[in-house]
Structure 1
Amino acid sequence: MDKLRVTLMQWDLIWEDPAANRLRFSEQFEFLKGKTDLVILPEMFTTGFSMSPEKVAETWPGESVEWLRKEAVRFGFVICGSTMIKDGERFYNRFVWADARGNIEFNDKRHLFQMGGEHEVYSPGNQQIVINFGGWRIAPFICYDLRFPVWTRNRSNYDLAIYVANWPAVRHQVWEKLLLARAIENQCYVAGVNRVGTDGRELKYSGNSYMINPRGEIALDFVPGIEEAKTVEISLNELNAFREKFPVMTDADDFEIRI
């Protein structure tokens, strides 16, 4: 499909309370039925950016993943975001994608935020995924991954990059500039979905969520600090036409990532 309707949910999160967060999101999904194709939730949408997974992490696939699956089928659109998961003996910050047919895809956060102690609690992912949805190739990433352009480099294999985050307000300018850079250098749409509010560690979040087009132009933005869901329509035909007119990817350097 050419047109893709994408809803970004710049939302506040109830600290370490998965049931309460699921309920709040479900209430909002009711207003989006028939109006969107893809809904993006923030990083750790069930808990906030908690370093206590032993208290609230769910075993894979778990109640929240099953909730995502059921809600996607119920409302007829994709729902995605990251949540804390215990898989085997390890904890992961896991991006989960649930489609309207009940299918689940997932990817684990590669770069763990050591300044917040994330690397001491969670295990890093070791692979990337690209999800095909109606002809769109979609690459999901999580928060701190945004700072690492080699890991997120488009090898002509995706059209839309998704970054879900709990990115503190004090560094909002870095968030904004890096999102713009990733869109321009990778000739793709970039959706950056960040939370708002104050978490259980007294960190403040301003949101500053965006949809950015491959020219580095802002297609959708939010009022900082305001809890809101907004939908934007993006075009695959327009993206491909721009790439054909200005084919910078054909001059890109080849490289290999060693994990």
Structure 2
Amino acid sequence: MTKKLSVALIQSDLVWEDPIANRMFFEEKIKGITSKVDVIILPEMFSTGFTMNASENAETMEGETVQWMKGIASSLDVAVIGSIIIEENEHYFNRLLFVHPSEEIETYDKKHTFTLAKEHETYTAGQNNILIEFKGWRIRPLICYDLRFPVWARNTNNYDLLMYVASWPKPRINAWDSLLKARAIENMSYTIGVNRVGVDANNYEYSGNTVCYDTLGNCLAKSDKGEESILIVELDKEIQNNYRDKFRFLEDSDAFRFVE
């Protein structure tokens, strides 16, 4: 069990629908990290940008980007996280991959597809949340639009870290900042959001604001200048548990169940 977890948050521009160029870019950035990290987080659809052209850009779970992630994870002894377009059983998914250093892969399919961009017309929504165990940390990974739905992130199973990968546009960046801080406070959990920068082929602008909040909503690190950057944050589970033991807010939360 590791009491501290070092996490690299890579905020970057993306080359539109060009997995080879994006993999080369991220490999250079990752190999340029000089400090030892446990986890590397990439943005949503990091190999293509947030495209609805799934038929031309989807890969399989045996595809080149998945193999690339496995190679990075095993060679550098880190967990690598990011979402890509996956085709499976004649459906397309916006799928987050958590690749362990052992090359084991755990996946999460985006639950809340972004109807404003008609994502729901192309991608099949996931139905299941996941909880990942890594180095003694319990991690809940989610994707972009999921951030607007607090019940989906509710900390009912004592996770230690909530993380979002995203392509969240600049005009609504205030919601990104506000909701990430709220998720950290209400769930008493370290909360990370990794967003992209740049302008995509649809002329949508992204300003980043990649950030990490602690258990009380204090900002530990933030990249808000709209530029490519790599943030390294060290999370301390003992500090978090001390806050939880002192305030016990999670124990006072309401119990409820879904009713069809």
| Length-normalised TM-score, structure 1 | 0.97
Task: State the Cα distance separating 1:4 from its structure 2 match.
Answer: 0.5
Verify: 1:161 aligned to 2:150, yes or no: no
What corresponds to 2:140 in structure 1? 139
Task: State the Cα distance separating 1:61 from its structure 2 match.
Answer: 3.5
Cα distance between partner residues in 2 of 1:33 and 1:224: 23
Q: Deviations over 1:114-133 (max 9, x none)?
A: 00010000000000001011
Per mean C-alpha deviation after superposition, the further-off stretch among 249-258 and 47-56 is 249-258
What corresponds to 1:90 in structure 2? 91
- Identity, % of aligned positions: 45
**Partner SS state of residue 123, structure 1:** coil
What corresponds to 2:234 in structure 1? 233
Task: State the Cα distance separating 1:60 from its structure 2 match.
Answer: 2.4
Per mean C-alpha deviation after superposition, the further-off stretch among 47-56 and 29-38 is 29-38
Verify: 1:182 aligned to 2:222, yes or no: no
Task: State the Cα distance separating 1:200 from its structure 2 match.
Answer: 1.0
Cα distance between partner residues in 1 of 2:36 and 2:98: 19
Task: State the Cα distance separating 1:34 from its structure 2 match.
Answer: 5.0
Cα distance between partner residues in 1 of 2:75 and 2:259: 41
**Partner SS state of residue 4, structure 1:** strand
Verify: 1:124 aligned to 2:125, yes or no: yes
1:95-114 to 2 correspondences below 5 Å: 95-114=96-115
Verify: 1:37 aligned to 2:38, yes or no: yes
Question: How many residue pairs are counted as aligned between the two chains?
Answer: 259
**Partner SS state of residue 166, structure 1:** coil
Cα distance between partner residues in 1 of 2:61 and 2:36: 30
Q: Deviations over 1:225-247 (max 9, x none)?
A: 11011101010000100000000
| Length-normalised TM-score, structure 2 | 0.97
What corresponds to 1:48 in structure 2? 49
Quick one: structure 1 residues 29 and 165, their matched pair in 2 at CA, closer, same or farther if it must change by over 3 Å? same
**Partner SS state of residue 8, structure 2:** strand
What corresponds to 1:220 in structure 2? 221
- Matched-pair contact (CA < 8 Å) for 1:92–1:124: yes
**Partner SS state of residue 235, structure 2:** strand
Task: State the Cα distance separating 1:255 from its structure 2 match.
Answer: 2.2
Cα distance between partner residues in 1 of 2:115 and 2:220: 32
Cα distance between partner residues in 1 of 2:9 and 2:228: 11
The amino acid across from 1:155 in the alignment is: T
Verify: 1:115 aligned to 2:121, yes or no: no
Task: State the Cα distance separating 1:139 from its structure 2 match.
Answer: 0.2
- The 4+ residue runs of structure 1 with deviation greater than 6 A are none
The amino acid across from 1:163 in the alignment is: Y
Cα distance between partner residues in 1 of 2:85 and 2:125: 12
Q: Deviations over 1:184-209 (max 9, x none)?
A: 00000000000000011010000001
Cα distance between partner residues in 1 of 2:82 and 2:223: 18
- Matched-pair contact (CA < 8 Å) for 1:22–1:64: yes
Task: State the Cα distance separating 1:258 from its structure 2 match.
Answer: 6.3
Verify: 1:76 aligned to 2:86, yes or no: no
Cα distance between partner residues in 2 of 1:11 and 1:99: 22
Task: State the Cα distance separating 1:257 from its structure 2 match.
Answer: 4.1
Cα distance between partner residues in 2 of 1:54 and 1:102: 27
1:22-33 to 2 correspondences below 5 Å: 22-32=23-33
